[in-house]
Amino acid sequence: MTWHIARDDDRITVAGELRIRDGREIWKTLTAAAKRTAPKIDLDLARTSALDGTIMALLVQLRNELHARGTRCEIVGATGAVASLVQLYGGTEPAPAPRMRPPRHSVIERLGAATAHFLERSREPAVFFGDVLSAIPDMLRRPARRSWRGLPLLIARAGADGMPIVVLLNFLVGFLFVFQSTPLLEMYGANIWAADLIGIAGTRELAPLITAVIVSGRSGAAFAAQLGTMRVTEEIDALRTLGISPVQYLVLPRIVALAIAAPLLTLVADVAMITGGFIVGISDLGVTPRGYLAELRLAVLPWDVWSGVVKSSVFGITIATIGCRQGLATSGAAAGVGRSTTETVVRCLFAIVVLDVLMTMLFRGVGAVR
Amino acid sequence: MTTAPTPRAAPILEARDLAIGWNPERPLVEHASFAVQRGEIFGILGRSASGKSTMLRALVGLAQPLAGEIRILGRTPEELPGPPPFGVMFQHGALFGSQSLGQNVAFPLETWTDLPGDAIEAIARAKLRLVGLEGSRDKLPSELSGGMRKRAAIARALALEPPLLFLDEPSSGLDPITSAEIDRMIQTLARALGLTVILVTHELGSIQSIVDRCILLDSDSSSVLAAGAPHQLADSDNPRVRHFFERVPEAS
């Protein structure tokens, strides 16, 4: 060992060459040496031949800790290069005053602060939604030419580009749904009801829901990432200084795009899901194709399909609104964009399920569905 | 050497008792009052984190001042009708990444005028020529150097012929030659187009070569430390003002 640390009554002597490779051992020895309290303990570096800046940082930290414990402590005896390091690392400056503990708040105070914070956070989406609504009359009065030029592309990206994954997932869900119901249907000799099962559940619930989940992951996240990137590169600010409302130029076209694309995808999803069930019906349950389709026609009413379309339109508007809001609220650099994207998907999934329950109850309440 | 134009009665921009920042209890700058005359190149100077860019954001309406009043052409920002009477060049250009330079410059014209497409294209081409980028009309911002992006951003800011131009650090992060070229371009455009330019910078070269009058912000005292022509500030009695111009560290 090339270093030595010893404690006298009012002095810790640090001798030899102290390097970062021995940092752990040095710190342990220093803190052990400083354990025994005294009104004054100096750190004596007169016999220190060389030391790293890291070790000097530890010595200054020890001095500050002793000071906080009420022990007067100075770094003394340093000469030459060691003295320069002492000065560089603030060892000659007075030790900082010990940090005050933050005052403890009562449960009621913390509850109040949490409520205020929650209300503040709830206000922002409400303000954004208000901005979106108030931009609609402006847009109708003076539609910006450029705002709507990109609409077909937005619909194509959200709709046509997402079609393969929507078709595949909905087909598989339809297939699995009927496949898992097979034993029960066979037990009651109700094989033909496979068509009723997937026809009604698929068009009303499953297809809109699964499509909305896919749209959240694809388009909602993409909107948050696009607008978030524009926010951190000051493009949103540039738009504002050109007198162009980001809500009118960026948000409204995206909301309209998803309000159109999501129902169209849902109609395709209905067909894919029913096809999945159809395959199991004719291969596993012994139902004839003609019989399956005839039962399907009897079971599924037009409103079953339309209720799914209405739901998916609401889902589309919600996903675009959440994605755009999160994007425009992005702060920080690239990490902020990542955070907004993740947050968008989580919020969209939550909102979709809650809205689905509310709309299902509403449709049942007004007698629109059986 | 530049000479300050003769001040006229009605300033193009006026800030009265302005406080800016994020924390009302500790504003970055407070009690800032200044007026910018037509045709001036006016500098907002200060060290890093002194509130220069925040001041610019407040002046163009991107940040709400904590206190005080801003008047542009005699009106508050809320009272200004139609397209803003100013253009802004952001520090890194803030060009729309998915659009070519030509489209970036055409964008405000398409939004605020009913000119036909070919006329807009011709105007965009002419604006890009003003900043020496006529050959890069079809390039995307990602294909340009930092200096070219800043010049393109100036072309976009000038698209709607505003009388007032805000520039955020136009020559920072550039090599000395490009930096001097941008300074010269700003001065030429300002004189030729009769523009008023408000320039946020800490580049001494820009300050001394093109700025007519300036204010020096100081976040330690949360105030406008000094105001006047650059040579007056450089000879100031206040050592902190002098040190800024002499590049002397505070500790000295």
Tens-digit pLDDT profile for residues A320-365:
999 999 999 998 888 899 999 999 999 999 999 999 999 999 998 8
Choose from A234, A239, A249, A250 for mutation: most chain B CBs within 10 A.
Answer: A234
B64: left (phi over 0), alpha (psi -120 to 50) or beta: beta
Give the integer Cα–Cα distance in Å for A319 and A261. Answer: 12
pLDDT of residue B250: 60
pLDDT (tens digit per residue) in B158-196: 999 999 999 999 988 888 888 889 999 999 999 999 999
CA angle in degrees (0–180, nearest 5) for A206-A212-A216: 150
**Could A145 and B111 be called an inter-chain contact, meaning their C-beta atoms sit closer than 8 Å?**
yes
Residue A368 three-state SS: coil
pLDDT (tens digit per residue) in A286-321: 899 999 999 999 999 999 999 999 999 999 999 999
Q: For B95, which residue in chain A has the nearest alpha carbon?
A: A235
How close B231 gets to chain A, by Cα (Å)? 32
Residue written as token pair 């698209």:
B159
Judge whether B163 and B12 are in contact, CB under 8 Å.
Answer: yes
pLDDT of residue A369: 60
How close B237 gets to chain A, by Cα (Å)? 31
Judge whether A124 and A90 are in contact, CB under 8 Å.
Answer: no
Q: Counting every residue, how long is chain A?
A: 370
Handedness of CA A215, A216, A221, A227 (dihedral sign): positive
Contact residues, chain A, for B119 at CB < 8 Å: none
List C-alpha distances in Å: A305 to A168, A256, A312, A343, A359.
19, 21, 11, 31, 14
Choose from B56, B72, B111 for mutation: most chain A CBs within 10 A.
Answer: B111
pLDDT (tens digit per residue) in A145-167: 566 788 999 999 998 899 999 99
Q: The sheet that has B67-72: what strands, in order across it? A: B29-36, B13-20, B67-72
Element (H, E) at B56: helix B52-59
pLDDT (tens digit per residue) in A186-226: 999 889 999 999 999 999 999 999 999 999 999 999 999 99
Q: What type of residue sits at position B189?
A: L
Element (H, E) at B163: none
Q: How confident is the model at residue A45 (pLDDT cuts 50, 70, 90)?
A: very high
pLDDT of residue B2: 45
pLDDT of residue B133: 92
Give the integer Cα–Cα distance in Å for A16 and A32. Answer: 18
How close B204 gets to chain A, by Cα (Å)? 25
Judge whether A201 and A254 are in contact, CB under 8 Å.
Answer: no
pLDDT of residue B178: 87
Predicted confidence pLDDT, tens digits, chain B (252 residues): 444 555 456 899 999 999 999 888 889 999 999 999 999 999 999 888 889 999 999 999 999 999 999 999 988 888 887 789 999 999 999 999 989 999 999 999 998 888 999 999 999 999 999 999 988 999 999 999 989 999 999 999 999 999 999 999 998 888 888 888 999 999 999 999 999 999 999 888 888 889 999 999 988 888 898 999 998 988 888 888 888 888 766 654
Judge whether A156 and B123 are in contact, CB under 8 Å.
Answer: no
pLDDT of residue B252: 42
Q: pTM for this structure?
A: 0.81
Q: Which of A349, A120, A123, A321 is nearest to A224 (CA)?
A: A321
Give the integer Cα–Cα distance in Å for B225 and B46. Answer: 9
Residues of B with CB under 8 A from a CB of A: 57, 60-62, 82-84, 86-88, 90-92, 94-97, 107-108, 110-112, 153, 156, 160, 166
Q: What type of residue sits at position B98?
A: S
Bridge-based pairing state of the strands B13-20 and A48-51:
unpaired
pLDDT of residue B251: 53
**Could B108 and A243 be called an inter-chain contact, meaning their C-beta atoms sit closer than 8 Å?**
yes
pLDDT of residue B85: 93
pLDDT of residue A143: 60
pLDDT of residue B1: 42
Give the integer Cα–Cα distance in Å for A221 and A228. Answer: 10
ipTM surpassing 0.90:
no
Q: Counting every residue, how long is chain B?
A: 252
Bridge-based pairing state of the strands A42-44 and B41-46:
unpaired
User: What string of DSSP letters covers B132-184?
Assistant: T-GGGTT--GGGS-HHHHHHHHHHHHTTT--SEEEEESTTTTS-HHHHHHHHH
- A333 phi, psi to nearest 5 deg: -100, -135
Judge whether A210 and A173 are in contact, CB under 8 Å.
Answer: yes
Judge whether B105 and A238 are in contact, CB under 8 Å.
Answer: no
Joined together, the tokens standing for residue A191 give 């094989």
Say whether pLDDT at A173 is over 60.
Answer: yes
Q: Which of A24, A17, A12, A3 is nearest to A52 (CA)?
A: A17
Judge whether B44 and B217 are in contact, CB under 8 Å.
Answer: yes
Partnered with residue A40 across adjacent β-strands are A72
Say whether pLDDT at A102 is over 50.
Answer: yes
Half-sphere exposure of residue B230, counting CA atoms within 13 Å on the CB side? 24
